[in-house]
Structure 1
Amino acid sequence: MLTFIIRRILAGVVLLFVISALSFGLLYLDSANVARRILGQNATPEAVVQLTEKLGLNRPLVVQYWDWLTNALTGDLGRSWFNGQLVSVSLSGRIAVTLSIVIGTTLVSAIIAVILGVLAARRGGAVDGTVQVVSVLGFAIPGFLIALYLVLIFAINLQWFKATGYIPITESFTGWLSSVTLPIAALSLGAIAAVTQQVRGSMIDAMSRDYVRTLRARGLSSNSVVYKHALRNAGGPALAILAVQFIGLLGGAVIVEQVFALPGMGQLTVQAGVQNDIPVMMGLVVAYAVIVLIINLTIDLAQAALNPKVRLS
């Protein structure tokens, strides 16, 4: 197991290096025009040259990346070109907001999807048909549209929640829960639909296997066969799709954070993109990559615990 973990960590480190190098190259490839985009099209050539030299954009790209990488390894991701704030400081206050939404959505969707998927696989008939219809609706309705309706119904009409804003969990747990409930609900429907379909398909496949018939012939209860054995074997594919959903939710959080005015990574991504704030954009790329790698490692470990054959892959 230790060898398996070390291999996964080393592969993640290599992938992180490749992602950072490619992203840096793409963002700084047109460095000659970066200063002009920042200053505007009416800037004088002298001002453009001066800013280019100030930002170090006149140096070779390899030298720029090496300086960034050596600083990043010590935790220094540079400073914003617009407000001078450390990128690491900008990210530290926003990662918790985005992760609150994404992790909350993942947990909610996983629990509900397992319940619905197992129920559809066991009961079939009208129950299965209803779950299928709900799943199709979850795929079809855009998350931002759900978010708008949730704000209209629960924040404006019923006034159960605030329409915008975020309260850190360190200040008030109930306030934090109130501020993330609607965003999590907006993102959950699509995630539930995807994971439910995977759980349902995996459960139907697992329950048709010979070992299930053998277990039932030995007198094991239906609940024991389903939840202790079949669900365990169906868990691998479900975990895989859950990891994909988590990564997709990071992108979906960009829109949801805009709708609910949440100060998360998605909002910062939009701001940095509009301003062409490359140091912040690089910091976001690294942060997203690290989060994805951690999630993938966690899913790999969970799958290895469910299926020892995964450790040998």
Structure 2
Amino acid sequence: MAFYIVRRLAAGAVLALIITLLVYLLLSTSFEDVARTILGQGATDEATAALMEARGWTRPVIVQYVDWLGGAVRGDFGQSVFTSLPVLASVIQRLAVTLSVIVPALLITSILSVLLGVWAASRGGFVDRFAQIIAILGFILPGLLLAIGLVVIFGVQLGWLPATGYVPFGDDPAGWVRSITIPVIVLVTAGVANMSAQVRGRMIDELRRDYVRTLRTRGIPYRRIVMKHALRNAGSPALTVMSLEFIQMFGAALIIENVFALPGFGSYAFNASLQGDIPVILGISAFGVVLVTIVNLVTDIANGWLNPKARIR
């Protein structure tokens, strides 16, 4: 297991290296545009060339990347071109905001999806059709439209929840809950639609297996069979779906955070891309790869715990 963890982490490091190199090569074509953005569109060619020289952007691209990589290995991701703030501290701060929205949404999604999926698969009939209707509605309802509708109703008309903005948990726990309620509802709606359908399908497959019929002939209560045996066997695929759902929610943060004016990872990445803030874009790319690698690794370990046959040596 230890060797597997080290191997996966090493693979994640190599992937981060490749992605950041590709990103740097792509960004290197826009160095002059970034310099003109900093100086203003009326800047002369001489002033632009002088700024590029001062920033080191006239050196060979591979040399610039190696310098950046050496600093990143030491924990120095540079400073933002436009704000001069350290990239590492800014990314961690923004990532904390994003996770404070995604983690509650993922927990609620997982609980509701498991309950709904198991309930539908074990009961069938009207309950099963009801669960499928819920899933279909979640699929067809656009997240952006739902977000705007919730803001108009609960934020503008009723005034129960803030329409935009974010309150840190440390400053006001109740205010934090109110500020993330609508974004969490939007993420949960889409997440339950996807995950509950996956849990339902897997549970139906498990309940049709021979061992379930054997256990029932022995007089074991059906509820115990469902909760102790079938759900455990269906848990491994459900964990995989949950990890994919986490990554999807992380991607959806780009839209959610801009709609609700949340100072998170997604809005930070969006603004940095618009400005061409090279150190920030590189830092975001590296952190994104590392986060996905860790999530996948934790999922594999959890799957091995649930399913002895899938345990990694």
With structure 2 as the length reference, what TM-score do the two structures score? 0.94
Residue number in structure 2 paired with 1:168: 168
- Equivalent-residue separation in structure 2 for 1:194 and 1:39 (angstroms): 47
Which residue type is aligned with residue 240 of structure 1?
Answer: T
**Contact 1:143 / 1:252 at 8 angstroms: preserved in 2?**
no
- CA-based RMSD of the aligned residues comes to 1.7
Which residue type is aligned with residue 292 of structure 2?
Answer: V
**Contact 1:4 / 1:311 at 8 angstroms: preserved in 2?**
no
**Contact 2:68 / 2:77 at 8 angstroms: preserved in 1?**
yes
Within-5 A mapping of 1:42-57: 42-57=42-57
Q: Deviations over 1:224-268 (max 9, x none)?
A: 111111111111221112111111111211111112111111111
Is 1:248 the counterpart of 2:253? The answer is no
Residue number in structure 2 paired with 1:85: 85
Residue number in structure 2 paired with 1:235: 235
**Contact 1:82 / 1:277 at 8 angstroms: preserved in 2?**
yes
Query: 2:311 is paired with a residue of what secondary structure?
Result: helix
Is 1:264 the counterpart of 2:264? The answer is yes
Q: Deviations over 1:106-140 (max 9, x none)?
A: 11111111111111111112211121121111111
Q: Deviations over 1:50-106 (max 9, x none)?
A: 121122111111111111111001111111111111111221221111001111111
Alignment coverage as a number of residue pairs: 313
- Equivalent-residue separation in structure 2 for 1:312 and 1:94 (angstroms): 34
Query: Could you tell me how far 1:299 is from its partner in structure 2?
Result: 0.9
- Equivalent-residue separation in structure 1 for 2:27 and 2:300 (angstroms): 31
Which residue type is aligned with residue 128 of structure 2?
Answer: D
Residue number in structure 1 paired with 2:294: 294
**Greater CA drift, 111-120 or 167-176:** 167-176
**Greater CA drift, 12-21 or 237-246:** 12-21
Q: Deviations over 1:168-214 (max 9, x none)?
A: 11122222111111110011111111101110110011111111112
Q: Deviations over 1:13-32 (max 9, x none)?
A: 22222222222222224445
Which residue type is aligned with residue 162 of structure 1?
Answer: P
- Equivalent-residue separation in structure 2 for 1:30 and 1:259 (angstroms): 28
**Contact 1:79 / 1:279 at 8 angstroms: preserved in 2?**
yes
Q: Deviations over 1:255-284 (max 9, x none)?
A: 111121111111111211111111111111
Residue number in structure 1 paired with 2:214: 214
Residue number in structure 1 paired with 2:148: 148
Query: Could you tell me how far 1:33 is from its partner in structure 2?
Result: 4.5
Query: Taking every aligned residue pair, what percent have the same amino acid on both sides?
Result: 47
- Equivalent-residue separation in structure 2 for 1:11 and 1:311 (angstroms): 19
Query: Could you tell me how far 1:39 is from its partner in structure 2?
Result: 4.1
Unpaired runs of 5+ in structure 1?
none
- Equivalent-residue separation in structure 2 for 1:32 and 1:309 (angstroms): 55
Within-5 A mapping of 1:13-162: 13-36=13-36, 38-39=38-39, 41-162=41-162
- Equivalent-residue separation in structure 1 for 2:286 and 2:152 (angstroms): 36
**Contact 2:12 / 2:289 at 8 angstroms: preserved in 1?**
no
**Contact 1:163 / 1:260 at 8 angstroms: preserved in 2?**
yes
Which residue type is aligned with residue 159 of structure 1?
Answer: G
Are residues 35 and 199 of structure 1, via their aligned partners in 2, closer, same or farther at CA, if it must alter by over 3 Å? Answer: same
**Contact 1:38 / 1:276 at 8 angstroms: preserved in 2?**
no
- Equivalent-residue separation in structure 2 for 1:36 and 1:308 (angstroms): 59
Query: 1:77 is paired with a residue of what secondary structure?
Result: coil
Are residues 93 and 305 of structure 1, via their aligned partners in 2, closer, same or farther at CA, if it must alter by over 3 Å? Answer: same
Q: Deviations over 1:268-312 (max 9, x none)?
A: 112111111111111111222222112111111111111123234
Residue number in structure 1 paired with 2:185: 185
**Contact 1:32 / 1:58 at 8 angstroms: preserved in 2?**
no
Residue number in structure 2 paired with 1:278: 278
Which residue type is aligned with residue 68 of structure 1?
Answer: W
- Equivalent-residue separation in structure 1 for 2:194 and 2:250 (angstroms): 16
- Equivalent-residue separation in structure 2 for 1:31 and 1:261 (angstroms): 29
Query: Could you tell me how far 1:37 is from its partner in structure 2?
Result: 5.0
With structure 1 as the length reference, what TM-score do the two structures score? 0.94
Query: Could you tell me how far 1:149 is from its partner in structure 2?
Result: 1.1
